[in-house]
Chain A
Amino acid sequence: MSDQSTNPLRDEIQKAISENRVILFMKGTPEQPMCGFSARTVAVLESMRQSFAAVDVLPDPRIRQELSALSNWPTIPQLFIDGELVGGCDIVTEMYQSGELQEALGLDAGAPGEAAPEPEPAPQQPLSIENRL
């Protein structure tokens, strides 16, 4: 036994973050966001045709609690790139507009607002971690 009670949910979240280069914790799903901030963050990622893993925090309040404890960030959505918290909707939007987000993702930072020539929406299948409790 470890000194603290083991925390499988937090471990699972940490694992999801380390195993997915781009992962978004959000309210709802990319197809059906349940909050304007989550919707806007998804829209930014999709406008860059960036694939990403998504975790819906709504099915169990503990997901959000553990995530916030882990990331030291109080709000949802939370975008992680390469295992690091990038930020929520405000920071993601700001970084997109400045081209920093494209840079962090290793995309062509040339034209932030460029129109996507071929829509390729399907992101990776959303993870479901609520069934690992």
Chain B
Amino acid sequence: MTAGPVSATPDELKARIEAEIPNARAVVTGDGHHFNAIVSSPAFRGLSRIAQHRLVYEVFGDEVGDRIHALSIQTKADD
């Protein structure tokens, strides 16, 4: 579904985060290269910040730093 060099959009990132991380809600802004994502999920509970951010980065794998040039993340563990 995400094939090709089509540039990334905030909507795409939001949809993929919400699909991959259980019960996540994401607010994503960005210009196609630099993005900011605020993500809340009960899956973050009990995890360190590093581990929370890794969960979000893992949604995109190698695309971070490449197709998604930069991804700023804020995470919130909600109930």
Residues of A within 8 A of B (CB): 37, 72-76, 85-91, 94-95
Contact B73 A90 (CB under 8 A): yes
| Bound-state Cα–Cα, A75 to B71, Å | 9
| Bound-state Cα–Cα, A8 to B57, Å | 27
Residues of B within 8 A of A (CB): 49-50, 53-54, 57, 62, 64-65, 70-74
Contact A91 B54 (CB under 8 A): no
Contact A94 B71 (CB under 8 A): no
Which 6 A-B pairs have CB atoms at the shortest separation, nearest pair first?
A74-B64, A91-B49, A74-B57, A90-B72, A90-B73, A87-B50
Nearest B residue to A37 by beta-carbon distance? B70
CB-CB under 8 A for A87 and B72, given A74-B65, A75-B65? no
Chain B proximity of A67: nearest CB distance (Å): 12
Can you list 25 A-B contacts with CB-CB less than 8 angstroms, sorted by A residue number?
A: A37-B70, A72-B54, A73-B54, A73-B57, A74-B57, A74-B62, A74-B64, A74-B65, A75-B57, A75-B64, A75-B65, A75-B70, A85-B50, A86-B50, A87-B49, A87-B53, A89-B72, A90-B53, A90-B72, A90-B73, A90-B74, A91-B53, A94-B49, A94-B74, A95-B49
Most buried by B among A74, A86, A87: A74
- 16 A-B pairs besides A75-B65, A91-B53 with CB distance below 8 A are A37-B70, A73-B54, A73-B57, A74-B57, A74-B65, A75-B70, A75-B71, A85-B50, A86-B50, A89-B72, A90-B53, A90-B72, A90-B74, A91-B50, A94-B49, A94-B74
